[in-house]
Amino acid sequence: MIELEDVAFGYGGSVLMTGIALALAPGSFQFLTGPSGAGKTTLLRLCSMHLRPTAGTARVFGRDAATMTRDEVAAARRRIGVVHQDCRFLDHLPVADNVALPLLVAGRSRQAADRDVAELLAWVGLAGQAGALPPALSGGERQRAALARAVVTSPDVILADEPTGNLDWEMSLRLLQLLVQLNRLGKAVLVATHDLNLIRAAKGQVAARVLRLSGGRIQQAGAEL
């Protein structure tokens, strides 16, 4: 569904990565590891078309991203759910309204959006926090709300950028289980993480590839878990 072929990216005359090859197939689960500053977030932004390669080809749902119009890019992004590490919310809106925003922007009726959001918040264990403002949530609650918002449009691909970076171990495992459930529904999942314990915890739950980004290149760090 998303394919990077011989992709390079750089800025200011420097090259951050080169020769990148990555394929996110339907139903696949992959972990992306690497040291801080290696470019994991940049790679996810290339996958979501928030950045364009300086060389090579990024194909998204069979289309070369470089040839897509603004409207086509917007439509493709609705099929990609992104979970950011910093959980960007509109703090003056309740959690339910924050989660509903992607649906409302896409033209869904308020009634239908409210129904879908209620189901999602129950799924992530936040039904009781639907009316709370984001600053009142704990770190784990914010990340689960961010996951709900990322999948509210029923995307085909989930990109999660260090989703457990600020969570305790129990909450990290809970978030991992939610991602595994999404994968079992056929979603392609790519998780950027520095937490090797999280990768080990996935063993037995999901068949996942482990990729390592280092020195501007991707290497397969391990076979299926």
| Structural domain count of the chain | 1
In a domain, 93, yes or no: yes
**pLDDT recorded at residue 221:** 65
Among candidate residues 47, 41, 52, 51, the one with its CA nearest the CA of residue 21: 47
Please, are residues 131 and 54 in contact by the beta-carbon 8 Å criterion? no
Query: Token pair 């800025």 is at which residue?
Result: 11
Beta carbons within 8 Å of 204's beta carbon, 6+ residues apart: 225
SS3 12: coil
In a domain, 216, yes or no: no
In a domain, 130, yes or no: yes
The alpha carbon dihedral of 22, 43, 198, 153 has a sign of: negative
In a domain, 169, yes or no: no
User: What is d(CA 122, CA 145) in angstroms, rounded to the nearest whole number?
Assistant: 11
In a domain, 159, yes or no: no
Instruction: Tell me the β-bridge partners of 59.
Output: 3, 64
In a domain, 112, yes or no: yes
In a domain, 131, yes or no: yes
Beta carbons within 8 Å of 162's beta carbon, 6+ residues apart: 40, 41, 85, 192, 193, 194
**pLDDT recorded at residue 83:** 93
**pLDDT recorded at residue 56:** 95
**pLDDT recorded at residue 225:** 45
Largest CA distance in the chain: 50
Residues of the chain with pLDDT under 50: 223-225
Query: Token pair 């009634």 is at which residue?
Result: 111
In a domain, 10, yes or no: no
pTM reported for the whole predicted model: 0.91
Residue ranges making up the domain that contains 94 = 88-154
Burial class (CB in 10 A: 0-12, 13-18, 19+), 200: exposed
